Structure 1
Amino acid sequence: MRRPRKVKAEINVVPYIDVTLVLLIIFMITTPLMNLGVDVNLPESDANTITIETEPAVVNVTANGDLYLSIGGEYELLDAETLQQKLSAFVKVNQELPIMIGADESVSYGQVYQAMAIVQQAGAKKVGLISDPIKPE
């Protein structure tokens, strides 16, 4: 009589390891390419630092006058009308959160004023300006 042959019930994990390594390489390459901020040289100020518990909406005005909006960390390039619409929707949901405005130090007062007017037209009650602290010499 022949003995029944035992079947090996093993899972081949080599393809899973290959896929995992490929995904790891893809993430390592694409992560540094993500643009998580807008290049703005903020003016220096000796104003007191405020602490906000939740992430506010941030409007940035770049050196060439582009308007960026960040709600939750990702910046989005917008025109003035779309910016006002998005801020209006944000203010309806988050009435007590401030909207912060950051502008490049080379931006004219008129462009910063235009950004502030858009924020005001959106219905924001709390507006702040972002600056860098003065560096000691």
Structure 2
Amino acid sequence: MGMNLPSNRGRGRRAPVADINVTPLVDVMLVLLIIFMVTAPLLTAGVPVNLPDSRAKALDQDQKPVQLSLDASGKLFLDDEEIGEAALPQRLEQIAAVQAGGQPPQIFLRADRALDYGRVMRVMGELNRAGLNRVSLLTVEGGSAR
């Protein structure tokens, strides 16, 4: 058995090598795939909230909504920023004032299932008082009726 090694015997020029090593390309692509698989679930929501189950389907959205979250301990978060309950009415009025010329922004209310119903209703009352009436209560899709 002989190997086909390039040599200077015979012809004066060497034949071009047309082989491409794809192993490094496959390695890089697999690393990128793993990175995206690990980081994608972390990008969904900033505040960990145990949402209740629902059989409703997701709504289509045309603009980015404002997320108001209540975690299990009752802390309030506006998007990913923690705010105090005393500062909530002022912040909601600021949000409503920005959109005064058009339609008020969509509010996504995410409340932990362990919270008291009255606590969630107080927050909804503040939303209503500020004029933010487009409120969606977020749940986990595909839940069973209990």
TM-score range relative to shorter protein: 0.5 to 0.7
- Residue among 62, 82, 94 paired with 2:71: 62
Map of 1:38 onto structure 2:
47
Partner Cα separation in structure 2 for residue 117 and residue 99 of structure 1: 13
Map of 2:6 onto structure 1:
none
How far off its partner does 1:134 sit?
2.0
Map of 1:89 onto structure 2:
94
TM (norm. structure 2) is 0.61
Contact 2:56–2:142, Cα closer than 8 Å, also in 1: no
Over 3 Å counting, the alpha-carbon distance change for 1:49 and 1:92 in structure 2 is same
Runs of 5+ unmatched residues, structure 1: 1-31
Q: Letter of the 2:47 partner, please give it.
A: V
Map of 1:101 onto structure 2:
109
Greater Cα radius of gyration, structure 1 or 2: 2
Runs of 5+ unmatched residues, structure 2: 1-38, 40-44
Partner Cα separation in structure 1 for residue 61 and residue 97 of structure 2: 19
Contact 1:80–1:118, Cα closer than 8 Å, also in 2: no
Map of 1:123 onto structure 2:
131
Q: Are 2:89 and 1:80 equivalent residues in the alignment?
A: no
Q: Letter of the 1:78 partner, please give it.
A: I
TM (norm. structure 1) is 0.65
Partner Cα separation in structure 2 for residue 90 and residue 130 of structure 1: 20
- Residue among 116, 141, 146 paired with 1:133: 141
Provide the identity percentage: 31
Partner Cα separation in structure 2 for residue 112 and residue 47 of structure 1: 20
Q: Letter of the 2:90 partner, please give it.
A: Q
CA offsets, 1:43-87, max 9 Å, x none?
Answer: 0101232111111111101101111101xxxx1111123122111
How far off its partner does 1:98 sit?
1.4
Which ranges of 4 or more aligned residues in structure 1 deviate by more than 3 Å? none
Contact 1:58–1:100, Cα closer than 8 Å, also in 2: yes
Q: Give the count of matched residue pairs.
A: 98
Contact 1:63–1:104, Cα closer than 8 Å, also in 2: yes
Cα RMSD, aligned residues only: 1.8
